[in-house]
A and B are shown apart, each in its own frame.
Chain A
Amino acid sequence: MPADLTPVPDAPATTPVADNGTGPPRPPVPELTLSHVTKVYRARRRTPDSRPDQRRVVAVNDVSFSIAPGAAVGLVGASGSGKSTLAGMITGSQRPTDGSIRFGAVAVERLRAGGLRRLHHQVQMVFQDPYSALNPLHTVEYTLTRPCQNFLGMSGAQARERVAELLETVGLTPASQFAPKLPHQLSGGQRQRVLIARALASEPTLIVADEPVSMLDVSLRAGVLNLLADLRRDRGLSLLYITHDLLSARVITDELLVLYRGQVVEQGATKEVLQHPDHPYTRQLIGAVANPFAAAHGAIPSTDRETT
């Protein structure tokens, strides 16, 4: 894990500045619908011993689901399950081989450069690795002003004011201390909050969070997850939470989809899926969750054990 830390205390999870309702009315949050989405990769070069069928990799296989406005949906699976590919297709970075992705009335799979830019106004992503997702040469302020200027048409001065608001919202206070910092001067938790602030800057209606806490220490995860949950509740955002960690999925999502080798093998309310898993892969994922209490007792604890 990156270990350079500043003595500035990492902000505890705070409730964000509440929207007092005097702002302009929020546009309705569109529904995201995926229908029979498939993604097949073709290996670009032939190796002498590869057979024709070895060169096709089916990353995503006939996946359909939808995210209702304001819902929090979890996409769970191991690496190679296709979840990152799905995230790429939903945000327009990649194009499906087959099937359709609709965000409200917009057909995402058919967008080109201009349309994609407009899409990013509404659909934003929080990346997994907070270090590589920030340009090491740009200050926090620069990184956060760009979406304000590009999507909200703000001037430089207006954007800087908004940056202060955003930093307060994600708990990086005092904002003036964090704005001039470069990424390597921040801790992992602080960087992740900057990423969340950047995702919020364009006032999106859907946030796709790709393993946002997996690279953070366990002690920092609750703070970031609470932040995401609070933001979702206060702004009515939809959230697509992608992870291989069932514990964080349980805390933040209402609905859960389990992906295995590109297919949805189980789907349902989060608590339901975790307490009564059907598919063997789901059971395997649950069993793999590192649980100190299970180890101590030498047996899997009963389902209604509570944490202290």
Chain B
Amino acid sequence: MALLEARGVNVVYEPSRGQRIWAVRDVNLTLEAGEFVGIVGESGCGKTTLGYALTRMLRPPARLDGGVITFDGTDIATLAGEQLRRRRRNGFALVMQSGMNALNPVRSIGHQFGDVLKANARPGDHLDAAAIRQRSTSLLESVQLDAEVLGRFPHELSGGMRQRVSIALALALEPRLIVFDEPTTALDVIVQEAVIQTIKDLQRDRGFTAVLISHDLGVVLEATDRVLVMYGGRIVEDQPAAVIAEGAHHPYTEALLNCYADPRADEVVLGGIPGSPPDLSLTEPGCPFTPRCPLAQDICREVDPPLAPLGRGWAACHVRAPAVRAGVEAGRAS
């Protein structure tokens, strides 16, 4: 049985003033235990929103609008309050973007570990100061940090260290699914690499299912086994990481790949993607990438492309992965 199954997940932002925005549209997703999946896309494509939706961390004005999210057999989309909180222990966790902002600036790191451990203690757990300290130290060690960090405050740590502390705090709950939301943005290249390596090692050693969300395709490909590409709130491609860089793909994926190059090559041409992401307050049918797509055809403007087989995975493109007639009819009917 898959660890997490999401069917028909929609997330809508409903600000008290202004238009409704559909940030995530009709996402279907299956995560097996132990998988390492990456979600990649530009700013505003909905990847962060999806990550928050899957871990039930959405806050008003964002709202889950229909859909089923089954975690280990239980539908967590309908849980709330204490029931939801209890599921987080040994369940799912989220490491937020810029872990720095997730740390309380006026409490020492040790205190924050204590808070997390005490809040999630099971009855019968003996959590005195020594036990907390010992557990915190072992958690810090697993992210390559020294025990002396416990006595420090967040502003005394470097960006990379703070990110590691955030990861360690997520590990404190022994989750089976961890969503990392842009863990390396705002870190410089060398620290990025180190943090990604730490995440990879942790995932391999502890076997949790990991979801890595990033706008940087290079980072995602370095760490993950499977990549989901999102655009305009939808998943437009789903492939094993090993094959993303070769063969034909969804035009957006190809355009993204063009934005990367090896700086040591004799000739380096850096691509970009002209135009800008779609306005998510509109709900017109058709492929969201059409205005910026070099392969756009009439059908792209009229019909939502369903995910159809492409290579070793799936893509939502009329041109590259045309769905079978019956499938298209079903897509149009829904």
Contact = CB atoms under 8 A, between A and B. Distances in A.
Given A296-B243, A307-B262, A9 B270 contact: no
Given A288-B192, A292-B260, A221 B265 contact: no
B306 to A, nearest CB: 25
B274 interface: yes
Contacts of B258: 307-308
Contact of B270 (A187, A221, A271, A304): A221
B148 interface: no
Interface stretch (A37-45, A63-71, A101-109, A242-250): A242-250
A1 interface: yes
Contact of A293 (B192, B262, B270, B277): B262
Contacts of A288: 189-190, 192-193
A19 interface: no
Contact of B276 (A10, A226, A274): A10
A303 interface: yes
A300 B243 CA distance: 16
B218 A290 contact: yes
B272 A246 contact: no
B58 interface: no
A188 interface: yes
A251 B264 CA distance: 11
Contacts of B185: 1
A290 B275 contact: no
Interface in B60-100: none
A76 to B, nearest CB: 9
A296 B244 contact: yes
A17 interface: no
Given A78-B191, A79-B159, A296-B221, A218 B276 contact: no
B259 interface: yes
Contact of A219 (B158, B221, B222, B273): B273
Interface residues of B, dominant DSSP:
loop
B260 A247 contact: yes
Interface size class of B (residues with CB under 8 A): 35 or more
B174 interface: no
Given A219-B42, A284-B190, A295 B222 contact: yes
Interface in A79-99: 79-80
A262 B260 CA distance: 29
Contacts of B205: none
Contacts of B262: 291, 293-294, 301, 303, 305, 307
A225 interface: yes
B30 interface: no
A292 B275 contact: no
A116 interface: no
Interface of A: 1-10, 12-13, 78-80, 187-189, 217-223, 225-226, 244-251, 271, 274-275, 284-297, 301, 303-308
